[in-house]
């Protein structure tokens, strides 16, 4: 799993039929303290994450399984919206 922050939404009027009804989000990978690592990606979202939220992501075959379709061209999928991160006994993030 990966930790990321949602930075925006992608709008595509023409897309693969396996992605016809799914929201696409622009995400930036972050470390446990919330510092960006410079990697941006597009993730499929079926749970309703919004801009600014911290999310958990899975990639590869795990993303296709989370999306419930082995045939869709999904490589990154939002599987959770983070409520709190505690690292080293300190609250690093709280929604």
pLDDT one-digit tens code per residue, 16-43: 887 877 899 999 999 989 999 999 999 9
pLDDT tens readout for residues 41-74: 999 998 999 999 999 999 988 887 887 666 778 8
Looking at residue 3, what is its pLDDT?
97
pTM: 0.90
- 76, 11, 13, 4: which is closest to 46 by C-alpha? 76
CA angle 81, 84, 90 (to 5 degrees): 155
Domain ranges of the chain: 2-94
What's the confidence (pLDDT) of residue 68?
A: 66
CATH number of 2-94: 2.40.50.220
């Amino acid at each position: 799993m990966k930790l990321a922050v949602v930075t925006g939404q992608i709008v595509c009027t023409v897309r693969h039929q396996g992605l016809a009804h799914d929201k696409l989000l622009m995400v930036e990978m972050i470390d446990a303290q919330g510092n960006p690592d410079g990697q941006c990606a597009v993730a499929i979202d079926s749970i309703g994450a919004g801009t600014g939220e911290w999310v958990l992501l899975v990639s590869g075959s795990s993303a296709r399984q989370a999306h419930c379709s082995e045939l869709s061209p999904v490589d990154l999928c939002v599987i959770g919206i983070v409520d709190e991160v505690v690292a080293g006994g300190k609250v690093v993030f709280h929604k």
